[in-house]
């Protein structure tokens, strides 16, 4: 290995996957009703890379992407790898103010946006960056209607060849994630860590070329980019590309699995819960018993009863794992460790310690904050300090509470950080509180996650405000500043929010009051009031 290759070990691993699998199918595109081999994806992404170069984009430049799941999204991701351009995906469901924040913060030079989001594109023009509107092939009314992939096919490929100019220490993607601050942070991820973690994970789970995954997690998140695109790619398997999980996907889940021979499923607990609730025939259970080999689950706490019910109904073993955007997989259950327990054993290349409030290490089975030292850690947050993210001696703070049992299995028991996980998506309560607090009728607000039968947690706000405050008006205010999935499901009122001795709102106590039903819902303005007001 020459010195240049040593700095490109992980990059060359991606390149060799393309070389070994040219004629094998990697993507079954259910939306555009086409299949793409590894060779076709390499060819298309090299041509798209040529387009990026022609747009003046160079290694290290950032581009933002706002698209639904589609083949074009994947082509752009790989085109970025060939050119060293860094993709910054933006969730299509975000409010345009939130999109603007991410795109500006990432200093993106160009935006690739689906023609479906015409209004958002119009509003984002004020940012002054180049905008490329993409008509996905699955949505083009006719081949002449501007199908982007057709234009890509006709473009000259990048002369540098596949992954010719990137190194392991380069950034492969920046993913904005909700933390405990009021604004999302850009997690910079390098080739070295993500490919290294993916190779290790695929090895532990024995993921192989025969495995075909159902890719229905949003490509704008690591669940879609890493779990259901890169890991199947590293394993040299294949994916069945679908729209992001929706009622339509839920209804047709097992039909699609049967039609496309899916034998590997990546779940989040809320999806497992929905599938169990909606499944009214034996078709899924019978198919799963015979054909599904791997079922992996993570991103949110998995209730024991849900795990048991899913395993019994579908005759599978759920391999629960644990990780964060900043760390990738920290632990996982896998066939090599016997009986699955908790979130599995800490993966090779990663060390975990459990600390008490004073920073002292705790013993086996004693609960404390989970801190991590890992060879797969992120490069850092993009243009944001990492104050508080690490302990004094350099261990990354997960913000989760848990313990290691005597056999080395990790258990996650609670959350130290103020965060809501709704359907596997992290939501910052502070971000919502800041929006609600801007409403003139509010004097105090607290947002908490409350148990939800399917989503895991739902967003609940408790406000203290004037007598004239009404729910409809407050919801309207939230809708004009927040993405739909962040809008509170319920709003309660309280004359006095419970506080600690230091004056900080005591959210534990607030959750207790909500669970006991001790707080009234904020009333909606009655029709009579409206009439009186209008007259």
Partner 1 sequence: MRPNMKADPRSWLLAWFAGHAKIDQDNIKPDTNYIERGLLDSFAFIALISDVEQEFRIRFSDGDFRKTDFLTISGLASIIERKMK
Residues found near partner 1 in the complex (CB under 8 A): 245-251, 270-271, 273-274, 277-281, 283, 422-423, 452-455, 471, 475, 479, 484-485, 487-491
The nearest distance, CB 458 to partner 1, in angstroms, is 8
The strand pair at 294-297 and 264-267 is best described as parallel
The nearest distance, CB 67 to partner 1, in angstroms, is 16
Nearer to partner 1, 390 or 485 (CB): 485
The nearest distance, CB 247 to partner 1, in angstroms, is 4
Which residue is it, tokens 């309207």? 476
Cα 21 to Cα 16: distance, rounded to the nearest angstrom: 8
Kindly list the distances between the CA atom of residue 435 and the CA atoms of 94, 430, 508, in Å, as whole numbers in the listed order. 14, 9, 22
The nearest distance, CB 336 to partner 1, in angstroms, is 34
Nearer to partner 1, 383 or 479 (CB): 479
Nearer to partner 1, 251 or 364 (CB): 251
Nearer to partner 1, 217 or 343 (CB): 217
Using an 8 Å Cβ cutoff, are 103 and 129 in contact? Answer: yes
Tokens of 257: 């699995």
Contacts of 70 (CB under 8 A, 6+ apart): 29, 31, 32, 114, 136, 137, 138, 241
Q: Which phi-psi region, left, alpha or beta, contains residue 261 (left: φ > 0; alpha: ψ -120 to 50)?
A: left
The nearest distance, CB 274 to partner 1, in angstroms, is 5
Residue 14 DSSP one-character state = H
Contacts of 220 (CB under 8 A, 6+ apart): 65, 89, 90, 91, 92
Cα 172 to Cα 164: distance, rounded to the nearest angstrom: 14
C-alpha Rg value of the chain to the nearest Å: 24
The nearest distance, CB 423 to partner 1, in angstroms, is 6
Nearer to partner 1, 137 or 424 (CB): 424
Tell which residue, 64, 68, 76, has the closest CA to residue 102.
64
Nearer to partner 1, 286 or 452 (CB): 452
What are the backbone angles phi and psi of residue 187, rounded to the nearest 5°?
Answer: -85, 120
The nearest distance, CB 243 to partner 1, in angstroms, is 11
Nearer to partner 1, 216 or 319 (CB): 216
Nearer to partner 1, 68 or 162 (CB): 68
The nearest distance, CB 14 to partner 1, in angstroms, is 33
């Amino acid at each position: 290995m020459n010195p240049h290759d040593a700095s490109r070990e992980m990059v060359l691993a991606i390149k060799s996957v393309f070389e070994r699998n040219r004629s094998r199918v990697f993507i079954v595109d259910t939306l555009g009703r086409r299949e793409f081999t590894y060779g076709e994806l390499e060819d298309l992404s090299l041509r798209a890379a040529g387009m990026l170069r022609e747009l003046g984009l160079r290694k290290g430049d950032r581009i933002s992407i706002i698209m639904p799941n589609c083949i074009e999204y994947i082509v752009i991701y790989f085109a970025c790898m060939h050119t060293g351009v860094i993709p910054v995906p933006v969730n299509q469901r975000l409010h345009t103010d939130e999109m603007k924040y991410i795109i500006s913060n990432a200093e993106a030079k160009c935006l690739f946006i689906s023609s479906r989001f015409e209004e958002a594109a119009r509003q984002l023009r004020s940012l002054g960056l180049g905008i490329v509107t993409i008509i996905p092939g699955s949505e083009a009314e006719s081949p002449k209607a501007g199908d982007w992939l057709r234009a890509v096919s006709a473009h000259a490929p990048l002369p540098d060849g596949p992954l010719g100019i990137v190194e392991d220490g380069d950034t492969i993607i920046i993913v904005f994630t909700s933390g405990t601050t009021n604004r999302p942070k850009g997690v910079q991820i390098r080739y070295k860590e993500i490919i290294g973690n993916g190779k290790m994970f695929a090895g532990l789970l024995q993921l192989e070329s025969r495995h075909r995954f159902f890719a229905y997690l949003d490509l704008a998140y690591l669940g879609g980019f890493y779990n259901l695109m890169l890991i199947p790619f590293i394993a040299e398997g294949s994916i069945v590309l679908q729209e992001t999980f929706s009622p339509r996907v839920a209804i047709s889940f097992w039909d699609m699995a049967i039609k496309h021979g899916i034998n590997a499923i990546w779940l989040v607990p809320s999806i497992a819960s929905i599938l169990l609730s909606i499944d009214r025939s034996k078709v899924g259970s019978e198919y799963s018993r015979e054909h599904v080999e791997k079922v992996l689950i993570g991103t949110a706490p998995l209730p024991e009863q849900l795990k048991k019910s899913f395993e019994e109904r579908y005759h599978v073993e759920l391999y629960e794992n644990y990780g964060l955007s900043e760390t990738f997989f920290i632990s996982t259950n896998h066939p090599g460790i016997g009986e699955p327990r908790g979130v599995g054993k800490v993966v090779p290349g990663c060390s975990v310690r459990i600390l008490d409030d004073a920073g002292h290490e705790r013993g086996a089975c004693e609960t404390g904050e989970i801190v991590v030292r890992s060879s797969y850690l992120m490069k850092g947050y993009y243009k944001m300090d990492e104050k508080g993210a690490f302990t004094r001696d350099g261990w990354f703070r997960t913000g989760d509470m848990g313990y290691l049992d005597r056999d080395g299995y990790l258990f996650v028991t609670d959350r130290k950080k103020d965060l809501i996980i709704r359907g596997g998506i992290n939501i910052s309560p502070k971000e919502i509180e800041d929006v609600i607090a801007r409403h003139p009728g509010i004097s105090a607000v607290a947002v908490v996650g409350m148990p939800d039968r399917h989503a895991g947690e739902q967003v609940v706000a408790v406000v203290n405000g004037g007598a004239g405050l009404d729910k409809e008006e407050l919801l309207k205010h939230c809708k004009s500043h927040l993405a739909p999935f962040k809008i509170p499901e319920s709003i309660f009122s309280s004359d006095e929010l419970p506080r600690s001795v230091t004056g900080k709102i005591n959210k534990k106590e607030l959750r207790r009051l909500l669970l006991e039903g001790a707080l009234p819902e904020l009333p909606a303005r009655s029709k009579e009031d409206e009439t009186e007001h209008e007259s």
